Structure 1
Amino acid sequence: MTKCRLCGSSSLASVVDLGATPPCESFLTADQLDQPELTYPLHLRVCTECWLAQIPPLITPEETFTQYAYFSSYSTSWVEHARNFVDGAVERLGLGPDSFVVEVASNDGYLLRHVVARGIRCLGVEPSVNVGQAARDAGVPTLTAFLHPGTGAAVRAEHGPAELVVANNVYAHIPDVVGFTRGLRALVADDGWVSIEVQHLLTLIERNQFDTIYHEHFQYYTVASAARALASGGLSLVDVELLPTHGGSIRLWARPAEAAGEPSARMVDVLAREKAAGLRELSGYAEFAARVARVRGDLLRFLVDAAGRGETVVGYGAPGKGNTLLNHCGIRPDLLAYTVDRNPYKHGRYTPGTRIPILPPERIAADKPDYVLVLPWNLREELTDQLSFVHTWGGRLVFPIPELEIVEVKP
């Protein structure tokens, strides 16, 4: 990787090198266990001109998202988050039966189903064939396509401009950030709104969330770098909300440049916080790699010591981020017997690289392990409640991020 994908600068500085891993959602079948796997470098760098953090675009979105293993609706808290967003957006923007809402990367309809329920015309644009079909089966109109300027223009020509375009947890997933942003601009009405949710680089650095660095995420945004990316496609960032989702996200509210006003006070405040944290100079990134190494060492020591004591450790969840953690730490079935997941698509498969079996959640109650390593730590409250039953045999939960924490479960 020699040039920044946003501004074209060749001034890229290393933030953390996590080695080489397989794509995080390439779960293996039993027939693939004796076959080799491709791995790709996972090296985060930051551009010292525009301060966009990024990894090399070694895997195309077509390779990852044509068939996809992640279904948003399996997270109860995420569906509720989407409902709250729709309620707020309807009130904020005055949306009604004559409005048109588009969601890009709409997955299985987890968000737009709330729009459908309100009688508001909508369309999902989802590249994954399997999850897009799940959305259609649930009554959510969905186009199977990747977003680029041509897609945006075609949807606008057929359906009209959208008062609201939503792009949640996708703005980091596209290597052609400029083309994607132009696609958003093509979709939205000249006086409309674009709402984007994406992980905040500030919290990623501050809370040591290195496991959210994986090949599906091509870039990692501050508010400052997001504003520059949006401007590349004719959109102006005017407001920002800080969210707890995914360990710390930002909701970006943008408008076509010709309709945008002055930035909000809270956007100005977050920009000031980023500057104070040193994220527009290399000093803000200097200690991150050392803190990643400490988490790796602490987690491995815990697992090795537990095995030495004859104690059992299993995992909960099989998220993409978990595969970055497992691969970077070199954790395999000798240290983590298996993990479980609510998504039936993953049952009977194995984690990429580390080849840990993925089983149904009921297996935990049957086996009564001493520890459950929670891989989707960002859903801590939801999963602590789901796993409250482990207290009945004295089991404990383990959270690896931002630092190793072993938790007694209360009934």
Structure 2
Amino acid sequence: MTKITFLNLGNQPLANNYLSKKNINKKEKKYQLNVCVDKKTNLVSIKKTFSSKTMFNNKYPYRSSMSKTMTKSFKTLAQYIKKKYKPNIVLEIGSNDGAFIKNFKKNKTIGIEPCSNIEKLTKKLNYNTFSDYWSKKLAKKILKKFGKVDLIYSANTISHIKNLNEVFNAINVVLNDEGILIIEDPSLLECIKRNTYDQFYNEHIYVFSTIALENILKLHNLQIFKIEKLNIHGGSNRYFIKKSFSKRKINNSVIFNKKKENDYGLKKIITYRKFASRVKLSKIKLNKILSKIKKDNQKIIGYGATAKSTTILNYCNIGNTKIEYFLDTTKDKQNKYTPGTKIPILKYNNLIDDNIKYVFLGAWNFKNEIFKKEKVFIKRGGKFITHTPFPRII
């Protein structure tokens, strides 16, 4: 076996399986969340995976447009793409509620979104969207209907698909010879540096490094020619990819990124084992902070009942005796309970309760956006609790 397990995040529920009052006492589907690294490719992945249909269906709760950070990022990228590459047709894998494709003319976009409850939002606006999983079969269907496409974009989606060979084979079917593939996903280097072990959950099958992604792409005659570092989702990489025979020059950012990853030790198993040790310490420290606040008879609530927070809450055994409730802006999560830990999720209300002094950041990856929004809470002495890069009160 070339895969080595280095991290055990315990018994976990499906990260987006929010519980209703009706099913709160029903037995939840749980699994052992183990994380491993492939010695051959350096690809980091979770060990136990679930079918796409189990995770991405007509009840999927995530909406890209709910975040100002994401909508701004999509708009800026779309403007850059139009100016720099002037694509005739843009295809997005994982188009969600259309936050990215809405920046282009309707006749110039194709969206792929398997979650029908979300795909219908863009369908209603007359965008060319398919409620289907990305595959070679779908790529051929698109090729027949629209011809080759000039640019394919995918944000935080490729890492959710188990069969990477199928993903890149399908991309090769429909992408022009001089076309560009842009992938955006959390950076493994940043994940390890910042101790964000919550990047691992059932939907995040992979967390990519440049080294690993390059090894996979090579098998499909694809090549990274530029990398942009993003602050989104706690540190992400935006990879610009071409077909190997394309004459596009390789930017220095690719060499720089690989050097950084090599220097940090992403090819050494000891790096992953040290990370696992830090994660164990993080669990102890976070629980100490929460216990001390509760001892002082202070309430703690959560902000953003995210898929990421599911990993933290279940790994650290944090339930409703420590966190009273979560606030969330997503309608599909409101009046439900967090998976596994059964903490109530309420409609977001501007942190108006004066009795609340401590807020656990479930959506820590949107910290800057949240801090701007919650100036009044901060001004009256409100404090946030985070686990990254180490558990502390901000």
Please tell me the TM-score bracket, short chain as reference.
over 0.9
CA RMSD of aligned residues (A): 1.5
Asked if the contact 1:368–1:390 (Cα under 8 Å) also holds between the matched residues in 2, the reply is no
Alpha-carbon separation, structure 2, partners of 1:405 and 1:42 = 25
User: Structure 1 CA distance, aligned partners of 2:101 and 2:381?
Assistant: 41
2:92 — aligned with what?
A: 103
Shift of 1:377: 0.8
Deviates more, 1:363-372 or 1:378-387: 363-372
Q: 2:72 aligns with which of 57, 67, 80?
A: 80
Once the two structures are TM-superposed, the CA of residue 393 in structure 1 deviates from its matched residue by 4.0
1:165 is aligned with what amino acid? I
SS at match of 1:43: strand
1:7-406 alignment, distance < 5 Å: 10-67=1-58, 68-95=60-87, 99-116=88-105, 121-362=108-349, 364-366=351-353, 368-391=355-378, 393-406=380-393
Mapped to 1, the partners of 2:145 and 2:186 lie a distance apart of: 32
Query: Which stretch shows the higher mean deviation, 259-268 or 343-352?
Result: 259-268
1:138 offset after TM fit, Å?
Answer: 4.0
Cα shift readout 1:25-70 (whole Å, capped 9, x = no counterpart): 0001011111111111111100111110111243111111122110
Q: Is the Cα–Cα contact under 8 Å of residues 32 and 48 in structure 2 kept in the other structure?
A: no
Which SS does the other structure have where 2:260 is aligned? Answer: helix
Q: How many residues align?
A: 393
Aligned to 1:7: none
8 Å Cα contact 2:8/2:33 also seen in 1 = yes
Name the SS for the 1:233 alignment partner.
coil
Note the C-alpha offset of 1:209. Answer: 0.7
CA apart distance, 1:141: 2.5
* Cα distance in 2, alignment partners of residues 173 and 260 from structure 1: 30
Query: Structure 1: how far apart are the matches of 2:126 and 2:376?
Result: 35
Q: 1:351 to 1:367 in 2, by over 3 A?
A: farther
Q: Which stretch shifts more, 106-115 or 392-401?
A: 392-401
Amino acid at match of 2:22: D
Instruction: Name the residue aligned to 1:6.
Output: none
Structure 1 position 364, deviation (Å): 3.0
Give the superposition deviation at 1:283: 2.6
Q: Distance in 1 between matches of 2:173 and 2:373?
A: 42
One-letter code of the match for 1:151? L
* Secondary structure at the counterpart of residue 31 of structure 1: coil
Relative CO higher for 1 or 2, CA cutoff 8 Å, sep ≥ 6? 2
* Amino acid corresponding to residue 212 of structure 1 in structure 2: Q
The secondary structure found in structure 2 opposite 1:32 is coil
Taking the aligned partners of 2:46 and 2:197, their CA distance within structure 1 comes to 13
Aligned-pair CA distance for 1:157: 1.2
Q: How far apart are 1:367 and its partner, in Å?
A: 5.5
Cα drift, residue 231 of structure 1: 2.6
CA contact (8 A) 1:181 1:232 kept: no
Q: Distance in 2 between matches of 1:195 and 1:58?
A: 25
TM-score between both structures, scaled by the size of structure 1: 0.92
3-state secondary structure, aligned to 2:228: strand
Which 5+ residue runs of structure 2 have no aligned equivalent? Answer: none
Matched residue, 1:4: none
Structure 2: how far apart are the matches of 1:231 and 1:196?
Answer: 15
> What are the Cα deviations for residues 377-399 of structure 1, in whole angstroms up to 9, with x where unaligned?
11110011112221354321222
Q: Secondary structure at the match of 1:227?
A: helix
State the alpha-carbon separation in 2 of the partners of residues 111 and 391 from structure 1: 32
Return the offset for 1:135.
2.0
Check whether the contact 1:124–1:143 (CA below 8 A) recurs between aligned residues.
yes
Cα 1:138/1:309, change in 2 over 3 Å: farther
Query: Distance in 1 between the 2:38 and 2:224 partners?
Result: 20
The 2-side partners of 1:244 and 1:263 are apart by 23
Give yes or no for contact 1:198–1:250 (8 Å, CA) kept in 2: yes
Q: In structure 2, what is the Cα distance between the partners aligned to 1:343 and 1:203?
A: 27
% identity of equivalent residues? 24
Q: Tell me how far 1:324 sits from its aligned partner.
A: 0.5
Kept in 2: contact 1:73–1:79 (CA 8 A): yes
CA contact (8 A) 1:113 1:139 kept: no
More displaced 10-residue stretch of structure 1: 393-402 or 13-22: 393-402
AA matched with 1:114 = N
- Name the amino acid aligned to 1:101: V
CA distance in 2, matches of 1:391, 1:221: 35
